[in-house]
Amino acid sequence: MPGKTIALGCDHGGFKLKSVLKEALEKKGYTVLDVGANSGASVDYPDFGHAVAKLIEEGKATRGVIVCGTGIGISLAANRHPAVRAAVCTSGLMARLARAHNDANVLALGGRIIGVETALDCLEEFLNTPFEGGRHAARVEKI
Ligand code: RB5
């Protein structure tokens, strides 16, 4: 994918999974901008969804990965930013289609919903699947 800087954020419900994803991204050679949280202590997911979205808005990261307990709350916050298309995914197929059809630029995962292997599948598809464009481009434009 063009641009190798990924913004990464989570709340306490996503902290463990975020640590795994961070290591995987760094191993793949990505630069990771980790906005926290940095422990399993209770925090508010919107703070981290907004922080990742801001890095994308400012052009400091090309893509983002966000994790909370379900992936839902943190994606709702990130999606308030017009530059962001965050997709909650629970399978590699969803992540592939979120890229191919929706040009999602933020992957949202639920640390209490999916296991590590599925999360890594989602990450792989999110990073490596190009947007198909064509008929999908006009639809994405309408968002
Ligand atoms: C935190 O307990 C939990 O509500 C949060 O991680 C997330 O699942 C919200 O959507």
- Domain ranges in the chain are 2-142
**Span 12-32, mean pLDDT?**
98
Q: Residue 4 pLDDT more than 70?
A: yes
pLDDT of residue 3: 74
The domain defined by 2-142 folds into Ribose 5-phosphate Isomerase B; Chain: A, (3.40.1400)
Distance (angstroms) between ligand 1 centre and the Cα of 13 equals 6
To test the pocket of ligand 1, the residue of 16, 47, 70 to mutate (highest count of ligand atoms within 8 Å of its CB) is: 70
Residue of 116, 117, 49, 113 whose CA lies nearest to 84 = 49
Neighbours of 43 (CB within 10 A): 18
Residue 110 confidence (pLDDT) above 60: yes
**Is residue 1 pLDDT above 80, yes or no?**
no
Mean pLDDT of 105-134: 98
pLDDT above 60 for 111: yes
